[in-house]
Structure formats: C-alpha cells, structure tokens
Structure 1
C-alpha cells in the first residue's frame, strides 16, 4: 500500500475494494497520473486529502436526503422532493426579499459587495472586480450552542 493513503482510500463507501492494488487490478492512481503525465505521488496525495475531507463530516445532498427520510419516515423520493421544495423556497425568497430567518438555526441574507481593485496573482497586474451580490449565513444561538 502506498504511503500517505489509509486503508479507507482503497475502499468505496460500501467497503468494496477500489480498482487499485487492493483488488489486484491495475492501479487507478497510476493510470490517471500517466494520463496526465505526472508521477503518481502528487495524485495520491490529492486523493488522500479528499478522503480525509469526507471523513471529517462532508455531507452530500444524497446523504441529507437519506437522513431526512430516516428521521421522518418518508421515502427517499419524497424526502428529496421536500428538500428540493425547501431549496427552491429559500432561493425565491433570497432573490425577492433578500433575507430568511429560521429562529434558532440562523439567518440567510443577501449582501452587496462594492466594486474594488484586485491583483492578478500570476502577473501582478491590477484588475477591476465588479460589484456583486453574495449570500451570507449567520448561525443562530441554538446552532452555535449545539456546535460548542
């Protein structure tokens, strides 16, 4: 097993071996690095970092749908419809009103950034960054307390 990659990097979520050394097949990491003309070490480090991030609590939409279905007794299809409806309602409200407050959880709001001057990191040349709108989230007291 290559250094820097834990056993979880060689298995998918269901615990099945991936295409690498663990399954006896050709190494997916080596094949990808050869395709890109790089040594496999840099690619293995990048893949290992992704594995660590997933273990630290990254939740995908599918994971969230599964949790909603488990907690509410809904089917996954109905839980996904409910989540999609929530996302659409939040988006529509932010576009129209610009602020949503979910008591205890937090507040989503639209803020405006002013136009400013920045620098191209590669050349050092000054560039103009146009004004834009961004979505911000301020956690509520209950969420802050739950995290602590």
Structure 2
C-alpha cells in the first residue's frame, strides 16, 4: 500500500502532466511581467523533486496540530514503538496506560497524558497511527 505522500505525489504528477500541459516555476519576480522582459529562460520546468516537495507540504498540512501535552505523549509513543518494534499500535498504547497507571514513566508524560481530553487523546492516536504507518513502511 502506498503512503499518503506517495498517493498525493502520484495525483499531482498525473494532474500536471495532462496531455500537453506543463508546470513551471518562475525564477524571477512577478514584476518582470509588467516590464515586458520575461522570457522562457526565466522559467524552470517542474521535476519529480518539485512534486515530492509539494506532496510533503500537503501531508504536513493534513497532520493534526497538537498541543504541547499531546506532543509529549506522542513523543513517548514514538520512542516506545521504536524501542519495541514487535509491539502493535494497541500494544504500545497498552504499555502507555500500564506504565502511567503504575507510575513507571516520567511524571511529565503522566501529567500530560492525564491532562488530555478525549478529543485530544483521539488526536494523539490519529497522529501516532499515521506516524506508525509511515515508520513501518520505511522499516520494510
């Protein structure tokens, strides 16, 4: 299965390559149009790298914006998953709640976790799930 970034890049590539359509970057300021000195040499045709950059920007924009407490919990989840790659997502979440309940982790993480509302917890889970999908694809 393709990652979200790959799917977006494929869609952009398909869109900008329709029949005889091309996409270019302007290498001068737009005011050069008013002066009448613009030429084809002032443009650079898009490459796969431009498409990848745009796809990455779109993926970043789609990521949930997390509060500081959500970021603390997400960071812990990522570190735990990286240390124990054999764990499933639910296994890592289980470790989070077991260790926080038994106070086997940093108090900052515990405080951050318990300060999250249900919707904030869902945001962390969503961000962690998206990260995990990408991380597992990179590991394969």
Same fold (TM over 0.5): no
- Which has the larger helix fraction? 2
Structure with more of its chain in strand, by fraction: 1
Normalised to the residue count of structure 2, the TM-score between the two structures is 0.26
Highest relative contact order (Cα 8 Å, sep 6+), 1 or 2?
Answer: 2
